[in-house]
A and B are shown apart, each in its own frame.
Chain A
Amino acid sequence: MKRYDAIVIGAGHNGLTNAAYLAKAGLDVLVVERNPYIGGATVSRELHEGWLYSNCSYVCSLLRPEITRDLELPRHGLQVVPYGGGVTFMENGDYFASFEDHEAQLREIARHSVRDANAYERYHTDVTKQTRLIRPFLLRTPPDPTSFKPRDIKELLFLAKAFYHLGEETLNDTFRFWTMSIGDYLNEYFETDVLKAALAGSGIIGTALGVYSPGSAYVLLHHYMGDVDGTVGAWGFARGGMGAVSGALAKAFQSYGGEIKVAAEVSRIVVKNGRTTGVALANGDEYHSDIVVSNLDPRRTFTVIMDESDLPADIVTKAKNFKIRGSSGKLNIALDGLPTFTGLDPNSRLMIGDMHFSDSLENMERAYDDWKNGTWSKKPYLDMVIPTQTDPTMAPPGKHMMSVFVQYAPPKLATGEWTDADRDAFGKTVLDTIGNHSPDFKDLILHVEVRTPQDIENEVGLTEGNIFQGELTFDQLLFNRPFPGYAQYRGPVQGLYLCGSGTHPGGGVMSAPGANAAREIFLDLKRDNLVPEAYADD
């Protein structure tokens, strides 16, 4: 069989990013993908005739602009349309609107509470400070704090310097922000339940934490640190669905001469004498390379496609203890027309943004309690969008596609594995929640795809269906991600690398882990580094 300079396992956005950088440097790179299509969780799929679903990830913001520029993704077809704003429906029939425009946002908050409108100015300034602090670290390799290597010490100093520039008071606020619950944090600023609920959503999406769990404020930051066209914190729709992101990455990769094999499931990473020599496929084929990069999550990499005997014992334990908890579900819905929502003008710009149905922190925390008790939330937090309003490519004319992200759903129920009846009941809970605020919604439904965490695992390969490839808690952030001592993208076996969201800086369609891993590979190969470390705007 052919020999490659590098083999990347998994054609998710990080795998493709990593492969694209390696190929750009002139390496002969193969990407192998288990599914018959590329993208991992960054896909658009036609699961109902005429409709394209962004059936896992569904909105775009975190994708690093350096990478977009470096790999010329717009030239390869990527177009992100910002949507801005959104709406949270309240049980009393009113709603709370979110606007991209600061003045409009203040007016809307003042409609609910003048005091909170004043506080929002402070909140906005404070959170923006945190965002600015973290962005420069996304495209850097975390230092090992136990190491005395010059590179690690230099990187630690870089970290220290960034913190030092904050000044004592802001540094204090930063530590508090990183360790507090989003609920407590918002309670410090605001009195209006629905405002707090609207902001808190970003603190729990994809995470097995509640709004009152310390550490959830950081998760909020994780959703704020992206941008669309330079607008920090903004979100947008990729035209053609999220598959457009992986599609553009794949085209970039191929334009550098890279090769992708789909329907090629890796059964084993081959290790000989303590170093990787290639991969073995389920169909018996073998491909050889001194460098194997896994885009799979750390648990799956070390416990499923590697032999325990090839690994140090502590790695196997760490992989088994790695916190990768399924907490999210998804509904993709084909609609015969655009639904209307109680109290909302059908021509409102808010229709284009994301819609939420949780109007208090207490409801959101109770939704988490349900998850802890091994059931899906009875009053789930939903992040719902109808991208076909701005992107007509995803549904037939006049028809619409709706994407509903659902928090929380457990990977396994207290009663055992998910059954079809459970999935239907879960779907009904979500549809009812939306139906409560949209009288015509249910009549417009043509097709519904309900995805439990179990379904996401089965299809995409993310353990437990965790969308971030591992919880974003302090034991798994920065130099602890995925494990202490292994945060620099290198596996415990020579020639083995990790490039997925399970590594720093974590999940979301960001591509930073893939790029960072490429930088480490260049370093080991003693080649010129093509991966940027900083962004002019930061």
Chain B
Amino acid sequence: MTEYDAVVIGAGHNGLVCAAYLAKKGRRVLIAEAAEIVGGASITREFAAGYSVSACAHLLYQFHPGIARDLELEKHGLELASDDLATIALASDGHYRRFSGSVVTGNGLTQKDISGFAAFHEQMTRYAKLLAKVAGRRPPKLIESDWHDKLNLAKIGLDIRRLGRDDMRELLRIGAINLFDVLNEKFTDELLKGALSVDGVLGAHMGPRSPNTVLAYLYRHLGDGFGTSGPAIPRGGMGSVTMALAAAARAEGVEIRNRTPVTKILCSAGRTTGVKLGSGETVEAGLVVSNADPKTTFETLVGFPELEAGFSRRVHNIRARGTTAKLHLALDGMPEFTGIDAIDSGARLVVAPDLAYVERAFDPAKYGEFSPAPIMEITIPSVHDETLAPAGKHVLSAVVQFAPYELKAGWDASKKSFENTILATLSQYAPGIRDQIVASEVLTPWDIEQQFRIRGGHWHHCEFSLDQFMMMRPAFGATQYYTPIDGLYLCGAGAHPGGGVMGLAGRNAANEIVKREKTT
């Protein structure tokens, strides 16, 4: 009799969700977390004296409401400082576009674009609802399918049919193509198109012309399928989400050990027997659940000698090229964005003036160079949450693309010039911002890999694209959360449905484990 039924590797949000659900089902669970604190890439961190920021993920786009309810996250301290945030597309001359739900406003927008956007938003929401259902279930196998899979497939087929003929045809037409073409079909306003294209390329190694971006757009808008109309900012930063999850997990009896890196997943005769810790200690368990990315899980923790050659090759071929950087600024006052009222500075601000700009920002990433004119998603969470900065001061957190993990010139040599590039771009929209900077921090994908232990620094763990979607995620042989090693499961963003602080990968994995390991 071992002490634990299951060891979860990593206390990221999915690891915590998975552990909590397993514990709810009566499993004795240990979470081994390498870092000082729980949270993985969903943490709040003081990056300058008195200034804290959500260090990796910085907005709650699509956290699953069912999980929040099941785990009583409110009771465990989760509070939103703001939700249903509007998105504002910045222009250097101040003629912004403001998106809120299905409403877009801004000087000079044509009526056709305004009503076109409402129709587009509603149609995308219908598709997002469909995708949300798919995301909440185990991805089906198509041929070696059991009755769960068959039922799931039938449900998907029925849901697609239920869209009605026109919606169904449009989904089958645009589902696998690029946002560039779809946006150009529907809209004329360049700033509007630029801003919308960001939702298809955020976190991805793709430009708006890359097929797959429509799917990525829908994924980013899963929240619309859950009933929200924009991202949310939790009070205390993204760390408070994982703190609440940790509290919920502990309340179910989960034990969490911080500063406890797992160095090896132990296998014997094709079955996991537990994990080895950095301290040299071995923890025995019949179940090991990895919240680490698939490459780390299989290449580093399991090791290819334990795996069949074909599967090893598939893992090796998983595409996980991080191209996203983070910028954190401590500011000694409220930055002024040209044309934007102070009240709207709390919105999600986007730098993406037109489609060609976004595509051009992506091009250098293909060749191992960073964008000379990057796109950005900016938040100033201290507008909503005074706990993050001293009174009257502010923090700015921005996702900056594109910055490839494999930079030809090397990140050590290039980081400073990259930071200058970002600040120069930012200054075009907030001219005085450089003088307000008290401290700054840039995280390249390389930094993200180091600090958050995600191979390639890719926040989806693996690229979110059709060839790594559903029954192809992360790779054949590990697509339904279980793996070629009996007793070893995946519960992270590399598994279906993918990244984003949503929790579904963790919950789906827990359901699958309970289903498959009834005898444990």
C-alpha spacing A362/B369, complex, angstroms = 13
User: Which of B173, B185, B206 has the largest count of A CB atoms less than 10 A from its CB?
Assistant: B173
CB within 8 Å for A168 and B465 given contacts A372-B209, A474-B176, A475-B181: no
Contact B181 A323 (CB under 8 A): yes
| A172 contacts B476, C-beta separation under 8 Å | yes
Name the B residues within 8 Å of A146 (CB-CB). 165, 168-169
Q: Which residue of A lies closest to B319 (CB)?
A: A184
Q: Does A214 contact B (CB under 8 A)?
A: yes
Interface residues on B, range: 20 to 34
Interface flag for A37 (CB, 8 Å): no
Query: Which chain A positions have C-beta within 8 A of B363?
Result: 369
Rounded to whole Å, the gap between the CB of B433 and the closest CB of chain A is: 31
Are A484 and B471 interface neighbours, CB within 8 A? no
- Is the beta-carbon distance between A176 and B366 smaller than 8 angstroms? no
CB closest residue in chain A, given B466: A179
**Of all chain B residues, which has the CB nearest A173?**
B476
Q: Which residues on A are within 8 Å of B, measured CB to CB?
A: 145-146, 163-164, 166-169, 171-173, 175-176, 179-180, 184, 188, 212-215, 321, 323, 362, 365-366, 369, 372, 473-475, 479-480, 484-485
Q: Mark B207-224, 1 if CB is under 8 A from A, else 0.
A: 001111000000000000
Complex contacts, A369 vs chain B, CB 8 Å = 363
CA distance A176 to B466 in the complex (A): 7
Interface hits, B158-193 → A, CB 8 Å: 165, 168-170, 172-177, 181, 185
Besides A175-B466, A362-B366, A369-B363, 8 more A-B contacts (Cβ < 8 Å) are A164-B143, A168-B143, A171-B143, A175-B467, A188-B317, A213-B209, A214-B465, A365-B366
Tell me the complex Cα distance, A494–B471, Å.
42
Q: Which residues in A have their C-beta under 8 angstroms from that of B206? A: 214
Residue from the list B142, B165, B174, B367 in contact with A475, Cβ < 8 A? B174
**List of A residues within 8 angstroms of B366 by Cβ:** 212, 362, 365
Does A475 contact B176, Cβ atoms closer than 8 Å? yes
The distance from the CB of A19 to the nearest CB of chain B, in whole angstroms, is 31
Q: Are A480 and B143 in contact (CB under 8 A)?
A: no
A474 touches B177 (CB 8 A): yes
Contact partner of A473 (CB less than 8 A), chosen from B143, B177, B467, is: B177
- Measured in the bound complex, the distance between the Cα atoms of B144 and A188 in whole Å is 25
Whether a CB of chain A sits under 8 angstroms from the CB of B472 is yes
Q: Can you show 8 pairs from A to B with CB atoms below 8 A apart? A: A163-B142, A171-B143, A214-B206, A214-B212, A214-B466, A372-B359, A475-B174, A475-B181
Q: Considering only CB atoms, which chain B residue lies closest to A361 in the complex? A: B366
Kindly state whether residue B141 has any CB partner on chain A within 8 Å: yes
Asked whether, in the complex, the Cβ of B173 is within 8 Å of the Cβ of A480, the reply is: yes
A contact residues around B466 at 8 Å (CB): 175, 179, 214
Task: Enumerate chain B interface residues (CB-CB to A < 8 A).
Answer: 141-144, 165, 168-170, 172-177, 181, 185, 206, 209-212, 313, 317, 319, 359, 363, 366-367, 465-467, 471-472, 476
With A475-B176, A475-B177 given, is the CB distance from A213 to B472 under 8 Å?
Answer: no
Determine whether the beta carbon of A215 is less than 8 Å from that of B211. Answer: yes
Ranked 7 nearest A-B pairs via Cβ: A474-B176, A179-B466, A484-B169, A176-B467, A214-B211, A168-B143, A172-B476
- What is the chain B residue whose CB lies nearest that of A483? B173
Closest to B143 in A: A168
| Cβ contact within 8 Å between A179 and B471 | no
Query: Do A214 and B210 have beta carbons less than 8 Å apart?
Result: yes
Give the residues in chain B near A180, CB-CB below 8 Å. Answer: 467
A119 to chain B, nearest CB (A): 10
Q: How far is the CA of A475 from the CA of B175 in the complex (A)?
A: 8
A473 to B212, CA, bound (A): 11
Q: Is the CB of A168 within 8 A of B367?
A: no
By the criterion CB–CB under 8 Å, are A484 and B209 in contact?
no
Q: Are B467 and A475 interface neighbours, CB within 8 A? A: no
**Known: A214-B211, A215-B211. Is A176-B472 also a contact (CB below 8 A)?**
yes
**How many angstroms between the C-alpha atoms of A400 and B476 in the bound complex?**
51
Residue picked from B143, B359, B472, most chain A C-beta under 10 Å: B143
- Contact status B172-A480, CB under 8 Å: yes
Smallest CB-CB separation from B180: which chain A residue? A372
Residue in A173, A179, A214, A475 whose beta carbon sits within 8 Å of that of B173 in the complex = A475
Return the chain B residue nearest A217 by Cβ: B467
Central interface residue in A164, A212, A214, A366, by most chain B CB within 10 Å: A214
Q: Complex: how many Å from CA A362 to CA B368?
A: 10
Roughly how many angstroms separate A474 CA and B476 CA in the complex, as a whole number?
23
Inter-chain contacts of A215 with B (CB < 8 A): 176-177, 211
B506 to chain A, nearest CB (A): 24
A164 to B153, CA, bound (A): 14
**Closest residue to A216 on the B side, CB-wise?**
B211
Cβ–Cβ contact B467 & A167, under 8 A: no
How far, in angstroms, from A165 to B387 measured CA to CA in the complex?
A: 59
Residues of chain B lying within 8 A (CB to CB) of residue A365 = 366-367
Query: Is B209 a contact of A362 with CB atoms below 8 Å?
Result: no
- Once the chains bind, are B472 and A172 in contact (CB under 8 Å)? yes
Q: Is the CB of B476 within 8 A of A473?
A: no
Task: Provide the bound-state CA to CA distance between A372 and B363, in Å.
Answer: 10
Smallest beta-carbon distance A182→chain B, Å: 12
- Say whether B172 contacts A479, CB under 8 Å: yes
* Distance A171 CA – B185 CA, assembled complex (angstroms): 33
CB contact under 8 A between A179 and B176, given known A168-B144, A214-B467: yes
Residues in chain B near residue A366, CB distance under 8 A: 367
B residues within 8 A CB of A172? 471-472, 476
Please tell me if the beta carbons of B173 and A484 are within 8 angstroms of each other in the complex.
Answer: yes
The answer on a CB contact under 8 Å between B173 and A168 is no
Measured CB to CB, the closest approach of chain A to B173, in angstroms, equals 5
CA distance A321 to B185 in the complex (A): 6
Also in contact, A179 and B467, with CB within 8 A (given A214-B211, A321-B185, A372-B209): yes
Provide the bound-state CA to CA distance between A366 and B363, in Å.
9
* Closest Cβ–Cβ distance, residue A51 to chain B (whole Å): 39
B482 to chain A, nearest CB (A): 14
In the assembled complex, the CB of A120 is this many whole angstroms from the nearest CB of chain B, namely: 15
Across-interface contacts of B317 in A (CB, < 8 A): 188
How far in angstroms is the closest Cβ of chain B from A314? 9
A374 to chain B, nearest CB (A): 10
CA distance A145 to B172 in the complex (A): 9
Query: Closest residue to A473 on the B side, CB-wise?
Result: B177
Instruction: Say yes or no: B169 contacts A169, CB within 8 Å.
Output: no
Verify B170–A484 contact, CB threshold 8 A: yes
- Interface centre among A166, A172, A173, A215, by most chain B C-beta atoms within 10 angstroms, is A172
Interface core residue of B176, B206, B313, B367 (most chain A CB under 10 Å): B176
**In the complex, A169→B181 CA distance in Å?**
32
Inter-subunit contact B143/A167 (CB<8 Å): yes
> Are A179 and B168 in contact (CB-based, < 8 A)?
no
B211 adjacent to A474 (CB under 8 Å): yes
- Closest B residue, CB atoms, query A180: B467
List, in ascending order, chain A residues with CB within 8 A of B319's CB.
Answer: 184
A480 to B177 alpha-carbon distance, docked (Å): 12
Residues of A within 8 A of B173 (CB): 474-475, 480, 484
CA distance A480 to B317 in the complex (A): 31
Q: Kindly state the separation between the CA atoms of A172 and B168 in the bound complex, as whole angstroms.
A: 23
Residues A484 and B172 in contact, CB atoms below 8 Å apart: yes
In the assembled complex, which residues on chain B have CB atoms less than 8 Å from the CB atom of A169?
476
- Which single residue of chain B is at the shortest CB-CB distance from A479? B172
Chain B residues in 8 Å Cβ range of A475: 173-174, 176-177, 181
* Contact among B175, B210, B467, B471 for A213, CB-based, below 8 A: B210
CB distance from B164 to the nearest CB of A (A): 9
The docked-state distance in angstroms from the alpha carbon of A214 to that of B174 is 14
Provide the residues of chain B in CB contact with A163, threshold 8 Å: 142
* Residues in A neighbouring B165, C-beta threshold 8 A: 146
